[in-house]
Amino acid sequence: MPEKSGSSWMAIRSNIDLLMLFATIALFFLGISAIYSASANKAFALSSFAVRQLMWGGASAVIYVIVLRIGYVRFLDFAGPLFALMMVVLILLLAVGYTSKGSQSWFNFGFIRVQPSEIGKVILALALAQICSKIPPTEIKGIAAAIGIGGVMIVLILLQPDLGSSLVYSVMLFAVLVAAGAPVKFLSGIVISILAMLPAAWMFLKPYQKMRLMVFLDPTVDPQGAGYNVIQSRIAVGSGGLFGKGFLHGTQGKLHFLPEPHTDFIFSVFSEEFGFLGCLVVLALFTILLLRMLNVAYYTRDTRGKLLSAGIVAWIWFQVTESIGMSMGLLPVTGLPLPLFSYGGSSLLAVATALALVQSVFIVSKEGRF
């Protein structure tokens, strides 16, 4: 255990992973440009969504610095109380939460809406890292503890219902189990069990969720309904060509053919305006970010820091893959935001906190405190 849980300002400045920080900032500002374009009117007036996202970005930057200063060790020490508090919040959400897009996933405070499941991803990563370092999932006791923690959160998220976030939680749980050394035969059993349960799971899906899966296979089954989003998104991505139509010159978003252009389909807006080459830049930045995070998870000698980083990498990777995949019609539509890119304060704050935790693991490792 290190002598202190936080890092000094000098240690932060000297040891921070600049490449990870650069990728984070670059993706955020590219997202701002896409949000501005997606929500600007025909006169290109100042986009309120872009302004609000910049404000959320300022708040996220403050949170980022605070988390670095406190240090990931202190957050891990409070993983238990944070997990218990999140359970209370998620249960309360089911009673008095605000319903939007068919899911009761928000607290509506009038001037602001908060989505607890986003912050829940950070807390799940902390809780799994803590429990799996204390009770390694190499035997039934540790496996049951990890699945118990992850399972209760997944169930509460499914009750909202929020299938997309529950998938993120599931991927995080699986990744931490792998990183913690869970037996291959057990991990294989999980995969086989999930595949076996898929036919039965179909019976529990909401009608709109079933339709999303059907239009993933064939958007023309409901071209004016659920399939409309996929069709228009494909058109937007394909029409960008090699170089794109140019900033603020995308037609799918400007003419309101593309639904939810500043959130769910933000990548489609960017693709149409900046083309294949612009998309390569975004994909390269996400690749740099994920590889640097994986580097932290691989090289740190602290088991808790390793498992924490593994859970966060799995979260960011899955959302990037799903969000970009659904924009191109390669994956079912889940409504998951593209990290650092899509409009949304709750998501941005959660991602900033998570990335700062991984940076903190890197800084502490470079300090040689583990």
The 10s digit of each residue's pLDDT in 16-34 is 999 999 999 999 999 999 9
| Average pLDDT of the residues in 196-216 | 71
- Give yes or no for a contact between 177 and 137, defined as CB atoms under 8 angstroms apart: yes
The reply to whether 21 falls in a domain is yes
Asked if the model's pLDDT at residue 127 lies above 60, the reply is: yes
If one compares 309 and 256, the residue with the highest pLDDT of the two is: 309
Does residue 308 lie within any of the structural domains? yes
| More confident site: 238 or 171 | 171
> Is the pLDDT assigned to residue 189 strictly greater than 90?
no
% of the chain at pLDDT higher than 70: 89
Please state the domain count of the chain. 1
Average pLDDT rounded to a whole number, residues 156-168: 90
Q: Which two tokens stand for residue 79?
A: 């993983």
Contact indicator for 362, 17 with CB cutoff of 8 Å: yes
Of 41-50, 250-259, 270-279, 323-332, which one has max mean pLDDT? 270-279
Alpha helix ranges (H) inside the chain: 9-15, 18-39, 48-70, 72-77, 79-96, 116-134, 140-158, 163-179, 184-201, 207-217, 226-239, 251-254, 266-299, 303-327, 345-367
Decide if 1 is inside a domain.
no
Answer whether residue 99 is part of any domain: yes
- Is 78 a residue whose pLDDT tops 60? yes
What percent of the chain shows pLDDT beyond 90? Answer: 54
Lowest mean pLDDT among 19-28, 158-167, 188-197, 215-224: 215-224
Q: Does some domain include residue 2? A: no
Is residue 171 assigned to a domain? yes
Question: Quick one: pLDDT at residue 367?
Answer: 76
Q: Which domain holds residue 199?
A: 9-367
Mean pLDDT in residue range 315-332:
91
Residue 4 lies in a domain: no
